[in-house]
Amino acid sequence: MTQEVEVITPLTDDILEKIQSGDRLYISGVIYTGRDAAHDRMIQALDAGEQLPFDIQGQAIFFVGPTPARPGRPIGAAGPTTSYRMDPYSPRLLEAGLKAMIGKGPRGKEVRDAMVKHKAIYCMATGGAAAILSQCIKKAEIIAYEDLGPEAVRRLEVERFPVICINDVHGNDQYETARREYALESKYFD
């Protein structure tokens, strides 16, 4: 049975253990942005023994490259990008302390296994709702890799940012659950 859960970052294991695949979450606090190029640079920093551009412990990364902000707004449209492009980097960031990822589409087995091992979750933000999602972002500032333009790492302050938990810390996958449920229901329509 799914539930609605209000969470505040940074995230802790005890909070994440209560969240189930399929739950609707409303995230408040700070989340960070990053796409492929930023992820590549963060892994290079880890490989070189350098600090990441933010303290990753208990944090969430939103896979987004926002559009420029309109006057009076902290950010432009902020829709999720396809998450599998971050799969080569995600296990290493989870090992470093990352607790949540936000994007769209399924994740690979290595990432799902790393989420279970390091007690982290993956959430889906609704694609096509970028303008609505941006309304939950109250402040945005570039903190690293400004040369990447929209793909720079940003620190976002969010209020009730809506997502759905796809992969929980217990290894459940909402995409797989939904496919099984749909297959069961569809046999009644044959």
> What is the per-residue pLDDT across 62-89, written as a single tens digit (0 to 9) for each?
999 898 899 999 998 898 999 999 999 9
Give first-to-last CA distance, the chain, whole Å: 27
Asked if residue 186 has pLDDT above 80, the reply is no
Whether the Cβ atoms of residue 88 and residue 107 lie closer than 8 Å to each other: no
Closest CA to 174 of 113, 116, 106, 101: 106
Q: Domains of the chain: which residue ranges?
A: 4-189
pLDDT digits (tens, 9 = 90+) for 125-178: 988 888 889 999 999 999 999 999 999 999 999 999 999 999 999 999 998 887
Q: Dihedral sign for Cα 31, 37, 38, 39, please.
A: positive
Which distant-in-sequence residues (6+ apart) come within 8 Å of 23 by Cβ? 2, 3, 4, 5, 164, 165, 168
Indicate the CATH number for domain 4-189: 3.20.130.10
0.75 surpassed by pTM: yes
